[in-house]
Amino acid sequence: VHGRTYSVASQSLAGPAALSAHQVFSPLTKERPVFRIQNRVAVIREPGDFYREILQGIQRARKRIVLSSLYIGSEEIELADQLARALERNPDLEVLVLLDCLRGTRIDGAGKSSALLLAPLVKKHANIHVALYHTPALSGLNKTAWPQRYNETFGLQHIKAYLFDDDVIISGANLSRDYFTNRQDRYMRFSDRSLADYFAGLVQSIARFSFQLVGKSASTHPLRDGDASSDMGLRLPSNTPDPARNPADFVRDANAAMAQFLQSAQVRHAVDPATLTEHDTLVIPTVQMRQLGITQDEAHMTEFFSLSDSFARRYGCRSMMASAYFNFSPIYKKLVLESSSRWDLLVASPEANGFHTAAGVSKYIPDMYSIIEHDFMRYSRKHYARNDIAIEEYARPGWTYHGKGVWCYLDRKLPQVTMVGSSNYGYRSIYCDLEAQVTLIPGNKDLQTDIHQEALYLLSHSKMVTETELKSRIRSAPLWLYALKPFISKKM
C-alpha cells in the first residue's frame, strides 16, 4: 500500500513460526482480566454501519443498555426516541448513560446539550440513569476562570463503550451525527456476557462518583454555573466529595472505588497462561485514569512495546499505530523510536482533522500537528537514523478521521494483535482523561483477516507523507503557533 510492502516474510529467520502471539504476549495476561471469546467478533468498517449497530442494539435489548461516551450530539433526536421507545415497551429494561460533565452540559449554538437531550427521558422513566463525570483537576479558581469548551482541556470522561444485553461495541467514536456519517473511527462488537458484565461494571463504578442528572431541587447544582433556567440539575451520590470543591478527597474515594473494581475483575477473570492455545481468541481490557491514580493501560502499553521489541530483535516485526492526531505522548514516541520494529503511524491529514473548518485560533490546530509531525520525522532521522518509520495521513474527500489503535503483525502476513478503544496515545490520554481499550489476540485466521482488511481499508484512504512535504507545508504557518506547541501538545 502506497509503496510500502505489507509482507515481511523475507525478513523472517528460521524458528519464529513456532511462536504464536499467545506465547509472545503471554505476560500481558498476567495481573489483568482476560476473556476467552467464543462467539464471532464483528469488525465494523463504516460510520453508517456503526450507527445501525447502535440503533439495532437499542431495539434488541431486553435487560440492559449501557452507553459510555464523551457526549451525545444534541441533534440526535432519533437515538433519544429509540431509547424512549425501548423504555416504554420494556419496563424491565435498565439504561445507564455515562458522559463527561463539562462536555455533556456544554450549550451549543442552538441552546442545546447532551444533558438537555436526555432530560425528558429522565423525567419520564425511573429506570434510566444519566451520570456525568467531572474531573478533579478543574477546581478552585480554575473552575470559575475557564469558560466552557476551554475548561475541557483539564480532563474528560473519554471511554467509548456501547452495551446492549450481552453485546458490547468498543470504539473511539462518540454518539453524534458526524460519527454516524463521515467521521471515520474504529468499532468492534463482542458478543460475550462476561466481557459485557465487565464493561457494565466499569461504567457503573465510574457512575458511583459522578454527578447524576435529576430534577432540580434545593440540593442540586445547576446544569451550568450561573444558569438556573433549566428544571433539571446535577446531584452527587450520597457521601461523594465534590470534585470541584474537594478534589483531594474525591480522588481518594474514586481511586478506592476503581482499585476495588479492577482488583475484583482481575481475580474473577484470571487465566493460567499455560492453558492458553493459539486457537483461543483473547480480549484484555485495560483502563487509564491517572488523575485518579489508575495507570493500568500505561503499564500495559509499555509491556506490549517491550515484548514486541524482544521479538523484533530476533525475527523482525512490523506494527501500525493510529491516532486521530499526531500528538503521541513522549513516552510512546520514544518507545517507537527505540523499537526494532518497523512502524506505520496513521493520523488525520490537515483536511481530515476535525479542526480543519474551525474558526479563530482553532483553525491553526491542523498546522500545529503538521509541525509536530515534521519535528518527529526530523528527530527520527537525525538521532535514530530510522528510515523504516512511515507516517500515513488519512485523506478521504469530505471525511474527517478519528480512528485509533494498534495492529501488530509480528513477522506474519496477518495481524497477531490489535488494540481498539478510546485512547489517542497522547499526553491527555495518559495524564488527563478516563480511557479504556481492549487488546485483542485473535485465535483464528478469519478474525485475523478481518482485522487486516480493516487496516488496509483505512490505509486505502491514506497517503504517505515525507519530511520534505511536511517542511513545505509548515513553511507558511504563523510563527506564534510555535509558541503554542507546548500547550497544544498537552491539552489537545
Residues with catalytic roles: 158, 160, 165
Angle at 123 between CA 122 and CA 125, to 5 degrees: 65
Nearest to 20, CA basis, from 485, 463, 448: 448
**CA distance linking residue 157 with residue 153, whole number of Å:** 11
What does each C-alpha distance from 483 to 98, 371, 376, 489 come to in angstroms? 36, 12, 17, 11
Q: The sheet that has 64-68: what strands, in order across it?
A: 42-44, 187-191, 167-171, 161-164, 64-68, 94-100, 128-133, 211-215, 232-235, 221-222
Among 477, 482, 458, 466, which Cα is nearest to 376's? 466
Count the Cβ atoms, other than its own, within 10 Å of residue 9: 11
Nearest Cα residue to 131 out of 99, 93, 174, 171: 99
- Separation of alpha carbons 133 and 71, rounded Å: 11
Q: Please check whether residue 8 is in contact with residue 342, taking contact to mean a CB–CB distance below 8 angstroms.
A: yes
Strands 318-322 and 161-164: unpaired
Q: Are strands 342-348 and 389-394 parallel, antiparallel or unpaired?
A: parallel
Measured between alpha carbons, how far is 260 from 271 in angstroms, rounded to an integer?
A: 19
Q: DSSP letter for 13, please.
A: P
SS3 187: strand
Indicate the Cα dihedral angle 75, 155, 343, 45, nearest 10°: -20
Would you state the cell numbers that stand for residue 129, as one nine-digit string? 440513569
Of all helices (H) and strands (E), which one includes residue 110? none
Start-to-end Cα distance in the chain: 30
